[in-house]
Amino acid sequence: MKLSLAQKIIKFFCSASLFEKMMEDSKRYRFTCSCGKESSIRDIGGIRYKAAGKPISGVKCPHCGKFSMQRIYKVD
């Protein structure tokens, strides 16, 4: 998997084990686009680690390419 610029910066400042934990946790944070496809924050190049709440963020769907505001939620 190719890392985004944000992920590369975080990787530079973290230990390898902490970075792996962050990437694994980021797979659990997801959003569902209006096209019906579900994607993780990690899939779109982001990192979310030990976060709380269900924020609304502007994201670009990797499936349809549409940019929209989406609610981010955690899947356990």
Residue 41, Cβ density class (10 Å: 0-12 exposed, 13-18 middle, ≥19 buried): buried
Which domain does 60 fall in, by range? 5-74
pLDDT in tens, 15-36: 999 999 999 999 999 999 999 9
Percentage of the chain with pLDDT > 70? 100
pTM assigned to the model: 0.83
HSE, side-chain direction, 13 A CA sphere, residue 36:
0
Rounded (10°) angle between helices 16-26 and 5-13 = 140
Strand ranges across the sheet with 29-32 = 38-40, 29-32, 73-74
| Count of domains observed in the chain | 1
Tokens coding 22: 């962050």
pLDDT tops 90 at residue 1: no
Scanning the structure block, which residue is given the tokens 């982001």?
Answer: 46
| 66: Cα separation from own chain's centroid | 16
